Structure 1
Amino acid sequence: MKYATYKLRISFLMSIFASEKTLYMKFVRAIAGYNHLWAVRDEAKEADELTMLFREWSNANYLLDFFLANIDDLQGFFHVEKISDLRRIYYERENIKIS
């Protein structure tokens, strides 16, 4: 009986998803002509996941939203009181002098 219920649930879920369009993810080269770095690309999106991640990381608003949403974790790991302290930690780690 346990297996029959399990099969019933799977077939029910399969019938729900069967009517939707299936999109596939592809592995694409992150750097053209370089075969060692690959990224996943959803056909429905304009760029691969790695490119989109780097775009988000270069967006100050995205980073601020991320830091605010995860401030408790950041404070616990980095022992900071303010988000501006993360800048200081980064510069110290990378040996960059703050002017």
Structure 2
Amino acid sequence: MKDYDVIIVGAGPGGLTAGMYASRGNLNTISIEKMMPGGQIANTHLVEDYPGFESISGPELAQKMEAHARKFGLKIENDIVNKIKPDGRYWIVEGDS
């Protein structure tokens, strides 16, 4: 069992942003994603409405978001979260692996 300050389920744009800010705040943070970082954007051919980019491929944007979050120390693990249960002051997150 590993201990983290913050566990984020999902590594789409919201999960990566939350992970980036938590990691930046010196919290030991992990994002657990069942597919690939970036969420639906990673499977989108062309993104033309994301702030800061006039036009960018979905996979490229997903890679940039992942790299930016990892730069601050976010750990990303590929797994499926099966159960989240309280355990006193803490939460236990159970996955397939």
Alignment TM-score > 0.5, same fold:
no
Relative to total residues, which structure has the larger helix share, 1 or 2? 1
Relative to total residues, which structure has the larger strand share, 1 or 2? 2
TM-score when scaled to structure 1? 0.24
Q: Tell me: higher relative CO, structure 1 or 2? Use CA pairs within 8 A at least 6 residues apart.
A: 2
TM-score when scaled to structure 2? 0.24
